[in-house]
A and B are shown apart, each in its own frame.
Chain A
């Protein structure tokens, strides 16, 4: 077996070095990508956990408010029932608002509801004259 020429040995050495370098580079690249993916997963998990935590808090608050709203509605019904009894008294049969007053109240309602008619609707023209 003859000795290899120096040039061939050098080329072989160079080839091996390049191959090792490239291998190391690609391995490093792969490890970097894996770390990046792991970090991204961690971020997504943290964001999901935060969103779930917030959703739970909002749902708990909504439940508390639902109970309060049901209590309010129940009291409102009670007030309406009681009002129906109270207004049977003679004093409630007398007129307390005339046509101009009703028109103004309608305008106030339209204004509160953001209806464009509220600004241009006829006002209580006769009210000032009386």
Chain B
């Protein structure tokens, strides 16, 4: 059975923490930081989603090939 491409086996990127000004009780976000954080979050989520779709397709190909071999 062919193995999956290595880039599909890499652990997914961790989701980023939101941008902020200050720390602890003084931490707060401006609208600009909120906007940038959401865009970054969508970026990482999009990357993880794309990899999941690719993994699912690779698995479908493997399953279809297994089915062909059994026929």
Contacts and interface: CB of A to CB of B under 8 A. Distances in A.
Contact of B50 (A53, A61, A65, A79): A65
Nearest to A80: B39
A36 B53 CA distance: 43
A48 to B, nearest CB: 11
24 contacts: A52-B2, A53-B65, A54-B65, A55-B2, A58-B2, A59-B5, A61-B61, A65-B57, A72-B46, A72-B47, A76-B39, A83-B35, A92-B32, A92-B35, A95-B29, A95-B31, A97-B28, A99-B26, A102-B18, A105-B18, A109-B15, A109-B17, A109-B18, A113-B14
B27 interface: yes
Contacts of B53: 65
A105 B38 CA distance: 11
Given A61-B54, A69-B47, A72-B50, A109 B16 contact: yes
B36 A83 contact: yes
A9 interface: no
Nearest to A57: B61
A91 B30 CA distance: 9
Interface of B: 1-2, 4-5, 7-8, 14-18, 20, 22, 24-32, 34-37, 39, 42-43, 46-47, 50, 53-54, 57-58, 61-62, 65, 68-69
